[in-house]
Amino acid sequence: MSGWQFQRAEEKQAWIDEQQRRAEHNEVKMLSAKVSDVELHQSVSMTGRMETSHYWLVEGRVLEGRLGYDVVMPFESEFGWVLLDRGWIEEAQLHELTFPNGISTVLAIREEPTDLPLIDENNNTLVNWPHRIVEVDAQVLARQLGLNTALPYFRLLPESAHVLTYRERKLRVSPARHQGYAVQWLLMGLALCVAWFFCELESIHTDKEEKMKRSQKALFAMIVVSILPVAAAYVMYFSGIGVPDSTVNKGTLLSAPQPLGPLVSDAMRMNLESDKKWRIVIPVEGECDTECEQALYLTRQVHIRLAHRSERVERIALWGGGLPNSAQLTALEETHPRLINEAVDEARLTQWLNAFNLPSSEAAGYYLVDQEGRAMMHYTLDIDGNDLLKDLKRALKFSIDYQQ
């Protein structure tokens, strides 16, 4: 495990170095061989045509707080078919999406499509195009086109023709974090080797007095094995050596969790106490603006992706100043049938939000409330839906399932 973590750290660092090198030198090669022979992170210029009648919209992509899609299209180059990521487009501008006609030349870089393939092929073999997906699985997408082998995945460069909005990719796990894990596994392995060594010595020596000495050494080894992880943790804490530079959770852990109960009605408070679930709370101060709609949409999609585990999670919209009018509420219930709408006092809602002491630039978003009814994590609108999904899955995995 230690070796694997070090290997992953090297791979991630190589990816970072390659991005920096490409940014500095911008080396673009002409495609002159099979597309499958192009190395990862290599930029190429290729000529061909886009298949405009079949393409995919990758959902849940957020850029600068705006919700949108990555547009992935099949591209028939002179040396074979590829999956071509044209970039990001805002959801509100989707109807303005245009397609190139005829032969064109594009600049693209080959990349791995995803670290977390989540596509269910049975849900994405519809007749009507475009298909809406949550991750890019090259094998599945190839089968949807009637092909048997996975297609190479390329992203258009910012300077390429026909690129939409270029969205920088971020690493899910940093090299420093992999190195921290590797050090921890290495120390555990060394401790076990020390214990095994002294146990083997014990079995070799038969002299009674010698056995006594070996027993003392074995006891000493056990003490060392017990103390070593604590000492390593102490050194890591005060020196920072091997400590990951990021936390596991993607949301912001609140230093001062606030109970939800005092803010809501008596009926909702009783529900919080009797029906212990995880809850996503979306505060709405005044009208539901674009940021509010983004939060509602993103949390709905993540709730759906929880599948059978979605019964352990509820979504609540807290309306400061009263519920929307009947027509708006009816439309909201149609698009968000599992959303609970709760009217709360506007002044109390503002006071509740201010208690978290969040910067004004990060105040918008939504909150994760634990099974005891405490808001304990905050999410801004630029956090990807996949990150919220991972946090929820982790919370559900390590908490009691009261719905059984």
- State the average pLDDT over residues 296-306: 92
CB burial readout 93-119, b (16+ within 10 A) else e: eeeeeeeeeeeeebbbbbbebbeeeeb
Residue with tokens 């390659």, as numbered in its chain: 18
CA dihedral 273, 276, 277, 280 (to 10 degrees): 20
Residue 282: pLDDT band (50, 70, 90) is very high
pLDDT digits (tens, 9 = 90+) for 220-255: 777 777 787 777 777 776 676 766 655 678 899 998
Q: What is the DSSP-derived secondary structure letter of residue 275? A: S
Q: DSSP states of 223-267 as a string?
A: HHHHHHHHHHHHHHHHH-TT--SS-S-SSEEEEEEEESGGGS-HH
For 157, phi and psi rounded to 5 degrees?
-80, 160
Q: Average of pLDDT values for 273-286?
A: 93
Instruction: Give me 118's structure tokens.
Output: 């989540």
Tell me how crowded residue 262 is: count the other CB atoms within 10 A of its CB: 10
Say what the pLDDT of residue 245 is: 59
Does residue 26 surpass a pLDDT of 90?
no
Pull the structure tokens for residue 75: 């591209």
Choice among 49-58, 73-82, 197-206 with the minimum mean pLDDT: 197-206
Q: Describe the crossing of helices 208-239 and 175-204 by its angle, rounded to 10 degrees.
A: 170
- Provide the percentage of residues in the chain whose pLDDT is more than 90: 35
pLDDT (mean) for 13-31: 67
CB 48 within 8 A of CB 77: yes
99 compared with 245, residue with greater pLDDT: 99
Residue with tokens 């939800």: 260
Model pLDDT for residues 351-360, shown as the tens digit of each residue:
999 988 888 7
Output the average pLDDT for the chain.
Answer: 83
Tell me the CATH number for domain 252-397.
3.40.30.10
Cα 18 to Cα 12: distance, rounded to the nearest angstrom: 10
CA distance 297 to 288: 12
Q: pLDDT tier at 120 (50, 70, 90 boundaries)?
A: very low
Residues 6+ apart with CB under 8 A from 359: none
- Tell me how far apart the alpha carbons of residues 388 and 394 are, in angstroms, rounded to a whole number: 10
User: How high is the pLDDT of residue 117?
Assistant: 42
- CA atoms lying within 13 Å on the CB side of residue 259: 8
Helix-, strand-, coil-residue percentages of the chain, each rounded to 5: 45, 25, 35
pLDDT of 96 > 70? The answer is yes
Distances (CA, A) of 108 to 83, 93, 100, 113, 158: 11, 24, 16, 13, 9
Kindly tell me the burial class for residue 243, based on how many C-beta atoms sit within 10 Å of its own C-beta (0-12, 13-18, 19 or more): middle
Give the DSSP per-residue string, 355-367.
TT---GGG-SSEE
Q: What is the pLDDT of residue 28?
A: 66
Q: What length is written for the chain?
A: 404
200 pLDDT more than 90? no
Spatial CA neighbour of 82 closest among 120, 116, 111, 103:
111
Is pLDDT above 90 for 205?
no
pLDDT at 201 over 70: no
pLDDT cut 70: percent of the chain above it: 85
Which residue type sits at 46? M
Q: Which residues pair with 165 in a beta bridge?
A: 88
Closest among 35, 77, 84 to 55, alpha carbons compared? 84
Three-state DSSP state, 177 = helix
Sorting pLDDT into bands at 50, 70 and 90, what band is 145?
Answer: confident
Cα separation, 260 vs 283, in Å, equals: 12
Pairing of strands 56-63, 131-133: parallel
pLDDT tens sequence across 173-192: 677 777 777 777 777 777 77
- Number of CB atoms found within 10 A of residue 217's CB: 15
Domain ranges of the chain: 31-156, 175-239, 252-397
pLDDT at residue 82 above 90? yes
Q: How many Å apart are CA 270 and CA 264, to the nearest integer?
A: 10
Q: How confident is the model at residue 374 (pLDDT cuts 50, 70, 90)?
A: very high
CB neighbours of residue 241 within 10 Å: 12
Write down the pLDDT at residue 246: 59
Q: How many other C-beta atoms lie within 10 A of the C-beta of residue 198?
A: 20
* Residue 182 burial (C-beta neighbours within 10 Å; 0-12, 13-18, 19+): buried
CA distances from 336 to 17, 28, 61, 296 (A): 44, 46, 20, 8
